[in-house]
Amino acid sequence: MRFCLFLLAFLLLDHPVLAADAYTQSIEQWRAERIASLKKPDGWLSYAGSGVVNPGKSTLGTASDNTIVLPRGPAHLGTLILDAQGKATFRAARGSDARIDGKPVKGTVKLQDNANDAKPTRIDIGDAWFYIVRMDDLIGWRFRDPQSPQLQSFRGIDNFAIDRDWRIEADWQAFEPPREIELITIINTLQKAPVPGKAVFERDGRHFELQPVLEDDGQLFFIFTDQTSGKETYPAARFLYADPAQDGKVVLDFNKAYNPPCALSPHVVCPTAPPENRLKLRVEAGEKIYRATPP
């Protein structure tokens, strides 16, 4: 009897239907982790304000007489000065309770942006925070708030039904040497990125190719559109990550195609799909366009 039960368990574990169920569960788990990440206080939905910092002096705060009007915080947070070399300093207003590294801001302090992958200086205002970022020749500002309207109203993202057929094992063709591509962002700025090769696959008897950006950790980052874009899915692009090629193959699991951050928040800048990655194909897998629900 024990042998029969063992044999039955073995056959069930090896059954393709159960294997499909395990795959479905893995995608559901991936989706749950993605939603949990978006709901974090420092997730993409916490962006509540953004803009450009002009050279010279700018005042910060929620009062309308400020140069940079913040969505939350004291009426007058302080003064930011951006010099001709793009270096920024900040001086807190009296009684603003602005803090850096948990300590009240005293005197004039230098602000670090994200140049050379540095961590920007974070000015905390309660549980929200302000910082600056470098965008090509511009300096921008960002405001993050765990109580942001986008975060408070978030109710999830619709997806296409999970379909294992959209997990595609593509052929990998490396570029020797690697190429460089200029990505156009949604605000028409340019971002240069390395492209190590292309993934080639067939669908419905037709030939398709996608070129990824190579990430610092070796992951392949695909930015693509398809014939659902602008209808069921976000117009500018969807994103998809894949592991590095093994034995000349790359797995493209379109069930994990997801909305870029700029689809969730107006305060984020994202790259659009390059011409090489505009598929003449309906990719009915992954996330659909995000539609915010009022709180």
pLDDT of residue 135: 81
Q: What is the pLDDT of residue 115?
A: 86
How does pLDDT run along the chain (295 residues), one tens digit per residue?
A: 444 434 334 434 455 555 669 999 999 999 999 999 999 989 999 999 999 999 999 999 999 999 999 999 999 999 999 998 889 999 999 999 999 999 999 999 999 999 887 899 999 999 999 999 988 778 999 999 999 988 988 989 999 999 999 999 999 999 999 999 999 998 888 889 999 999 999 999 999 999 999 999 999 999 999 999 999 999 999 999 999 999 999 999 999 999 999 999 989 889 999 999 999 999 999 999 998 754 4
The token duo for 257 is 């195609």
What pLDDT was estimated at residue 48?
94
Cβ atoms < 10 Å from Cβ of 110: 9
pLDDT score of 10: 43
- Tell me the backbone φ, ψ of residue 33, rounded to 5 degrees: -65, -35
Closest CA to 141 of 185, 84, 94, 82: 82
Task: Select from 3.20.20.70, 3.40.50.920, 1.10.10.10, 2.60.200.20 the CATH code of 44-153.
Answer: 2.60.200.20
Which residue ranges does the chain devote to CATH 2.60.200.20? 44-153
d(CA 272, CA 182): 10
Buried b / exposed e over 120-146, threshold 16 CB at 10 Å, is bbebbbeebbbbbbbeeeebbbbbbbb
Q: Which residues contact 33 (CB under 8 A, 6 or more apart)?
A: none
Q: How far apart are CA 77 and CA 79, in angstroms?
A: 7
From 154, 160, 186, 165, select the one nearest 257 (Cα to Cα): 160
Using alpha carbons, list the distances in angstroms from residue 280 to 11, 208, 275, 277, 285: 41, 8, 11, 9, 15
**pLDDT of 20:** 61
What is the reported pTM?
Answer: 0.85
CB 132 within 8 A of CB 113: yes
Q: Output the pLDDT for position 187.
A: 86
Q: Would strands 56-61 and 68-69 be described as parallel, antiparallel, or unpaired?
A: parallel
